[in-house]
Amino acid sequence: MLRRLLNSHLVGPYRGPLLLIVVLQAVQATATLILPNLSGNLINRGVLAGDNAYIWEVGGTMLIFSAVQIVFAAAAVYYGARVAMAFGRDVRRDLFHQVTSYSAREVGMFGAPSLITRLTNDVQQVQQLTVLATTMMISAPLTLVIGVVMAVREDVGLSVVVIVAVPAAGVLLGQLVYRMVPAFQVMQQRVDRVNGVLREQITGIRVVRAFVREPQERARFAQANEELTDTALRTGRLMAAMFPTVGLIVNVSSLAVLWLGADRLNDASMAQPGSLIAYLSYLMQILIAVVMATFLVSMIPRAAVAGERIIEVLDTESSVVPPASPVTEVPERGTLEFRSVGFRYAGAQRPVLSNVSFRVEPGQTLAIIGSTGSGKTSLVNLIARLFDATEGTVLVDGVDVRQLDPDILWGHLGYVPQKSYLFTGTVASNLRFGRPDASDEDLWEALEVAQAAGFVQAMPDGLASTIAQGGTNVSGGQRQRLSIARALVARPQIYVFDDSFSALDLATDARLRAALAPRTVDAAMVIVAQRVSTIADADEILVLEDGEVVGRGRHQALIESCPTYAEIVASQLGAGAVT
């Protein structure tokens, strides 16, 4: 999975910069490997021989190679960092586009906390691996292989140190990496868990406080946090053990080289001291290359887990598939029709909606009422194509929504959801969400109709007043009215109000509906409501029960013909309203 992600988002798009990085690292590694040999020659033929001219010549050459090493290493790191950052940007972009194309089904399947973690933490893990890989993907193995050759070339007799040290480092560090893999897998799951608990508690803070559940919720978060901490400590201890292990190998190897090298100098098996210094330098470079390679490998397990989770999102297609040849010319304007529509959630034993049929013309109002769980919200979700009907056909402007161009579909709908949501910004930016070119006059007109002009005028900066994320700095009723005004600013052909008046008092509800009537005279309107007073004047009322239409008609006719509706009216307006 990780290899596939890197191939699709790194190797393919950035092949040219990666080749440049390879060249830069190869030159840098070559310059690094030449320096010990020059150092050995400087000691043997310059310092010991007292040849000052040779010392200046070789010393100048070493300065040049050092400069080359520094410049090319800096350039490799610079371009590697740019490529890695661009890679992370591209992955986040594709994940975001994929998630925003999902229907509510896919979002519910993954869960919002997990999707956020995959877009942030998981991408960061793969990006960190990419930074290290682009920094040392060539220099480390090149230094390791050529360094061994150069060390043996300096003195074959000391090769026993390399033969023992390099495999020992590989085995010891490999054991640590092997134990990290399952720990990193668990860690990502624990991060998901902490994000999920935290998001749930922040979102439901009012409920938590209302039921005095702070101690229990603190304990629940503490448990998730402790589990993540334990896992992080376990992986941290394994990673922390890498550097002492490497330090031990380096120090023991250095002592072994000096010990054996001194003996070989005494018995004249090694020709000159410079060779010992050069061999020691090559050994350090070899072991450092092993360390860097091992450190890179140690990042792979967590990045592999993160990459698998990212690919899982990228491979999951939305159940709401855009049409291959979208219809852009519609035969009607402002009409909505359901033809024998049924809907069943994946894995559900029974359908949520069954055989629902109706038609709404421009200027007409269809009201939908029913008990909790009767399928009202599922029905309006089908209109906006948040789900696709599993049976029958939903038509907007005379075209099946599955064939209609999504931009046309959503551009013709003014949808006010059951749970009003405002975005971080200002009152004006929220109202212009569906129509960016709307003037201030358009905004105030919509606010007047939505009965929101009064409290917006009372805000310190009017239309420029700040709105917090989710609209948490305004009341529930104010959020609903701003959401209604947002739909009015867009001037759609079909309005869908999903229980959008529930937070309003009866007087405000009545004034809003009275102001709404002339504004929507040429548009079809669908109102889902719990209050009978909100829908009593509708042209047609649809009564749902267990996903089926059990009554349809106008208010007075339904009281006489539909027991379910009569029961709802009696429960809200009293038995006198029914008789």
CA distances from 332 to 163, 338, 397, 412 (A): 81, 15, 5, 12
Token readout for 343 is: 């809907």
Instruction: Give CA angle at 269 (263, 272), nearest 5°.
Output: 90
SS3 409: helix
Question: What string of pLDDT tens digits covers the 579 residues of the chain?
Answer: 778 888 888 888 888 888 999 899 888 888 888 888 788 777 777 666 677 787 888 888 889 988 998 999 899 889 988 999 999 999 999 999 998 888 777 887 887 778 888 888 889 889 988 888 888 778 888 888 888 888 777 777 777 777 887 788 778 877 877 787 778 778 877 887 887 788 777 777 777 777 778 888 888 888 988 988 988 888 888 877 877 887 788 788 878 877 877 777 666 655 567 777 777 788 788 878 877 777 777 778 778 888 888 999 999 888 788 888 888 888 988 899 999 999 988 777 788 899 999 999 998 999 999 888 888 888 988 998 888 888 999 999 999 999 999 888 888 898 888 888 888 999 999 999 888 999 999 999 999 999 999 999 999 899 999 998 888 888 888 898 999 999 999 889 999 988 888 777 888 888 888 888 888 888 999 999 888 888 888 899 999 998 899 999 998 899 888 888 888 888 876 655 555
Distance CA 108, CA 318 (A): 12
Residue 498 CA, chain-centre distance (Å), reads 28
Question: Cα–Cα distance between 560 and 431 in angstroms, integer?
Answer: 42
- Over its C-alpha atoms, the chain yields an Rg (Å, rounded) of 35
What contacts 220, CB < 8 A, 6 or more positions away? 197
Domain 336-577 grouped into CATH 2.40.110.10: no
Alpha-carbon distance of 326 to 314, in angstroms, equals: 23
Superfamily for the 2-315 domain: ABC transporter type 1, transmembrane domain (1.20.1560.10)
Q: Are 488 and 415 in contact (CB under 8 A)?
A: no
Please give the distance of CA 522 from its chain centroid, rounded to a whole number: 41
Which residue in 366, 360, 406, 365 sits closest to 386, CA to CA? 406
Beta partners for 341? 356
The single-letter DSSP state of residue 371 is S
Give residues with Cβ within 8 angstroms of 286, minimum separation 6.
143, 144, 147, 148, 151, 162, 165, 166
- pLDDT given for residue 46 in this prediction: 67
Smallest CA-to-CA distance from 285 within 131, 150, 159 is with 150
* Distance from the Cα of residue 231 to its chain's centroid: 23
Which has the closest alpha carbon to 55: 43, 65, 37, 64? Answer: 43
pLDDT at site 541: 92
**Cα(239)–Cα(242) distance, rounded to whole angstroms?**
5
Q: How far apart are CA 483 and CA 474, in angstroms?
A: 12
Q: Which residues contact 169 (CB under 8 A, 6 or more apart)?
A: 245, 246, 249, 287, 290, 291, 294
**Every domain range in the chain assigned CATH 3.40.50.300:** 336-577
All CATH 1.20.1560.10 domain ranges in the chain, comma separated: 2-315
- For CA atoms 80, 82, 84, 90, the dihedral sign is negative
Using DSSP, state whether 395 is helix, strand or coil: strand
Nearest to 291 by CA among 83, 132, 152, 128: 132
3-state SS class at 24: helix
pTM for the full model? 0.72
By CB neighbour count within 10 A (0-12 exposed, 13-18 middle, 19+ buried), where does 503 fall?
Answer: middle
Helix (H, G, I), strand (E, B) or coil at 341: strand
* Element containing residue 422 per DSSP (H, E): none
Q: Residue 456: what pLDDT?
A: 92
Q: Is residue 33 packed enough to be buried (19+ CB in 10 Å), middle (13-18) or exposed (0-12)?
A: buried
